[in-house]
Amino acid sequence: MKDYFYLMRLDKPVGIFLLFWPCTWGMAYNLNFHFLDKEWFLYFVLFFFGSILMRSAGCIYNDIVDVNIDKKVQRTKNRPLASGKISINNAWTLIFILCLISLVILFQFNIKTIICGFASILIVLFYPFAKRFTYWPQLILGIVFNFGVLLSWLSLNTHFTFGIIYLYISGILWTLGYDTIYALQDIDDDKKIGVKSSAIYLKDKIYIFLYFTYTVQILFILLSAFQINGFNSLLLIFVLPYLWMLFHIHKMKLKKNYLKVFQFNNYFGLLILLSLLSLPIYS
């Protein structure tokens, strides 16, 4: 059971929350148009369990596709599939079970949310192969990892607004930033085996890129908040996690603590949620 626990990455819950926070951003944004009621809380909880299930299924699928690559990378060679502790057939069986439970959760929502959920499947299936063809698999991950913004919004609304689209774009840029940081851990091994990543492509421009990405990301969040309250001093609350993030990136130049800075994005996502929750209070 321990090996299956590791296969689903339940020992590394940061990834669950990085998938969950975009869902909460959409739910928080909903409160500007929807009362805080039992339905809102129910959907919030469903998105949490859905994030656990889908992140686990995604990790297993990624390990199946990358099993031969993982054997050659120092950080991943001891994963259950790469080390042979779990068979590929058993991994596929577990994916089927997780996806089946996820479908039960998805069908608790309205038809537009269900359609949007199914629309993300093709991108999910393509993502593990992206690093074989493009230096920007992190962008592909951002597109699919932040579908939670759209799903959570549609769960209580019938059509998209500019505000929620801006919020979705900000999530894509956020993932592009933190997954580029994550890719720095494997940059030497990836070069040897021919795997592509934004970290490899950017070379010595990577810190300029990270500063730029997080800056544009927070600008899109500000645009999203502007759609609710217009321009006022409340928008400054979103700048605080942004400055804190830039501080950690600056320190990363010296300490090379890539994993720690990647994990800090979990707190960044939480701070953005708290900031979004303040919008309906002061609107």
Q: What is the pLDDT of residue 193?
A: 86
With b meaning 16 or more CB within 10 Å and e meaning fewer, what string describes 265-276?
bbebbebbbebb
Q: What is the pLDDT of residue 282?
A: 63
| CA 23 – CA 32 distance, rounded (Å) | 15
| CA 187 – CA 55 distance, rounded (Å) | 23
Q: What is the pLDDT of residue 77?
A: 86
For residue 81, give the 3-state DSSP assignment.
Answer: coil
Q: What is the pLDDT of residue 191?
A: 87
For residue 130, give the 3-state DSSP assignment.
Answer: helix
Q: What are phi and psi of 254, to 5 degrees?
A: -90, -40
Indicate the helix (H) or strand (E) that contains 245.
helix 239-255
Nearest to 279 by CA among 23, 44, 26: 26
Q: What is the pLDDT of residue 35?
A: 85
Nearest to 147 by CA among 225, 241, 47, 38: 47
Q: What is the pLDDT of residue 274?
A: 93
Range of the domain at 268: 2-282
> What's the one-letter identity of residue 278?
S
Q: How many domains does the chain have?
A: 1
Q: What is the pLDDT of residue 283?
A: 56
Mean pLDDT (10-residue bins), the chain, 283 residues: 90 94 96 90 97 95 90 85 92 96 96 93 90 93 95 93 96 97 90 90 94 96 87 79 94 92 96 90 62
Those residues whose C-beta lies under 8 Å from the C-beta of residue 141, and which sit 6 or more positions away, are 127, 175, 179
Q: What is the pLDDT of residue 233?
A: 66
Nearest to 262 by CA among 276, 274, 245, 238: 245
Place of tokens 């933190």: 178
Cβ atoms within 10 Å, residue 39: 12
Tell me the longest C-alpha to C-alpha distance in the chain.
Answer: 57
Q: What is the pLDDT of residue 237?
A: 86
Q: What is the pLDDT of residue 55?
A: 95
For residue 34, give the 3-state DSSP assignment.
Answer: coil
Whether 138 contacts 130, CB under 8 Å: no
- Cβ burial, residue 192 (10 Å; 0-12/13-18/19+): exposed
Whether 70 contacts 76, CB under 8 Å: yes
Identify the CATH number of the domain in which residue 122 sits. 1.10.357.140
Estimate the crossing angle of helix 38-65 against helix 121-130, to 10 degrees: 40
